[in-house]
Amino acid sequence: MLSHSCGPTDWLSLREAKKDSRKGDNGRVLILAGSKQYHGSLVLAISAAVRFCDLVYVYCDKENQAVVKKLKLETPNIIILTTSSALSSFLPRIDAVLAGPGWEENAKNRRMLAHLLKTKKPLVLDATALHIIDKRSLHKNVLLTPHGGEFKKLFGVGATSSSVRAMAKKYKCNILCKGPLDLISNGESICSNRVHHVGMTKGGSGDVLAGLCGALMADHNQPFEAACAAAYLNGFAGVRLSKKMGAHYSSQDLADELPLAARNIEKR
């Protein structure tokens, strides 16, 4: 078993964009998140994703027109799909999908999740998606991002280095278990991330991390490598904010700090 602690090298090891790249070459991510009550999850995931891949697609059906309206005010950097036919049309060109943050637990989302898993596309599953997933459908392109409580509910055991690795191996997937110590595994290697700040306990930090993971996977990075890099960068951004704001920063501040933190690593 290979083990290491997350650090700058994880970020620097990610795929670099080629100089002759064209729009879309460096990742197209689809985000399925949010609801009438929890639109913030979608906004925060988008805020992280738009900085780290070329194109961000968002699916919001007609039942969530209020969410769509808010998104159009929040950012111009997304392509909004509002019909199932549009979703079906664009899905083949998508490089990775994020599903679950702010979702309602309903039959429609269960069907959507089952369909996404059948495509075998790189897929980040967070929050509600973790509650409605059929574990038998998981595969090597899936990254689960539970916190400790969600991990225990999903797998029936507490989150430790050995259990995270064991569950990733058993279900042939990747797991980023969030906490004061992040534990990341693909079933073979295990990576831990201790870089955090207490200000990151605020609601929405996980949505930012999920959006970042989705963007990095869309940019043709393997789920395990993307998860290690994202966990470190998210924590590093929180530490940087703490030097300016103490613990008095929001999850939106965290998303905004990500590209600055990434640039700081790259310039070292």
Interacting residues of 42 by C-beta distance below 8 A, sequence separation 6+: 31, 33, 34, 58, 60, 67, 71, 101, 102, 207
Q: Within a domain: residue 158? A: yes
Q: Within a domain: residue 1? A: no
Q: What is the pLDDT of residue 99?
A: 98
Express each pLDDT in 3-17 by its tens digit.
899 999 999 999 999
For residues 171 and 163, give the distance between their C-alpha atoms in angstroms, rounded to a whole number. 12
Q: Within a domain: residue 10? A: no
Rounded to the nearest integer, the mean pLDDT of the chain is 93
Does residue 68 have a pLDDT over 80?
Answer: no
In this prediction, residue 69 has a pLDDT band, given cuts at 50, 70 and 90, of confident
Express each pLDDT in 187-216 by its tens digit.
999 999 999 999 999 999 999 999 999 999
Domain assignment of residue 227, given as a range:
24-267
**What six digits make up the tokens of 225?**
């490598």
Number of domains observed in the structure of the chain:
1
Candidates 81, 15, 70; CA nearest to 44 is 70
**CATH number of residue 135's parent domain:** 3.40.1190.20
Q: What is the pLDDT of residue 61?
A: 66
Q: Are 232 and 176 in contact (CB under 8 A)?
A: no
- How far does the chain reach from its first CA to its final CA, in angstroms? 30
Half-sphere exposure of 177 (CA within 13 A, CB side): 28
Q: What is the pLDDT of residue 246?
A: 97
Q: Within a domain: residue 14? A: no
Q: Within a domain: residue 2? A: no
Does residue 62 have a pLDDT over 70?
Answer: no
What are the helix and strand counts (H, E) for the chain? 11, 10
The enclosing H or E element of 194 equals: none
Tokens 């994020």 sit at which residue? 98
The enclosing H or E element of 136 equals: none
For residues 197 and 240, give the distance between their C-alpha atoms in angstroms, rounded to a whole number. 9
**Beta bridge mates, 59:** 81
Candidates 210, 148, 143; CA nearest to 172 is 143
CB atoms within 10 A of CB 41: 28
Q: Within a domain: residue 193? A: yes
Q: Are 106 and 89 in contact (CB under 8 A)?
A: no
Q: What is the pLDDT of residue 198?
A: 95
Q: Are 55 and 27 in contact (CB under 8 A)?
A: yes
For residues 215 and 208, give the distance between their C-alpha atoms in angstroms, rounded to a whole number. 11
Angle, helices 251-267 vs 205-218, to 10°: value is: 50
Q: Within a domain: residue 241? A: yes
Q: Within a domain: residue 8? A: no
Express each pLDDT in 158-177 by its tens digit.
999 999 999 999 999 999 99
Model pTM above 0.85: yes
Does residue 65 have a pLDDT over 70?
Answer: no
